[in-house]
Amino acid sequence: MDENCIFCKIAGKEIPSNIVYENDYVCAFYDLHPVTPVHVLVIPKIHIQDLEHVDESNSKYVEQVQLAFKEVAKIVGVDKTGYRVICNCGEDAGQEVKHLHYHMLGGKKLGTKIVHE
């Protein structure tokens, strides 16, 4: 855990959030500023900065995140309608929070699949 990391604090229940699902490895909570009707963040319960910092020592947590998506989808009601998962890594992707997280977006028909700007 990183004591300066807001998502570590959410996973550790040190600050409040709207958690929809968790297990020993994973925590999923609603994004504070949703961009779609359903916007959930899924994070590992261990501090990993981003995808560039995934390795053998923490990959069990990343594996569990992958397995959690369909459970979260069921809970928030997008398992039948579908959803998009986005993971920003580093500066050019505009990653703001330096704790690996996956945006689950859904609840409406989504537009352009890849954004070029």
Which of residues 39, 45, 47, 101 is near Zn ion by CB under 5 A?
Answer: 47
User: Pick from ligand AMP, Zn ion, none: which does 105 bind, CB < 5 to 8 A by kind?
Assistant: none
Stretch that binds ligand AMP, among 42-50, 52-60, 90-98, 106-114 (CB under 6 A): 90-98
SS3 per-residue string spanning 32-71: CCCCCCEEEEEEECCCCCCHHHCCCCCHHHHHHHHHHHHH
Which of residues 61, 62, 69, 99 is near Zn ion by CB under 5 A?
Answer: 99
20 neighbors 40 (Cβ within 8 angstroms): yes
26: contact with Zn ion by CB under 5 A: no
Separation in Å, CA 24 to CA 28, 38, 108: 12, 24, 30
31: contact with ligand AMP by CB under 6 A: yes
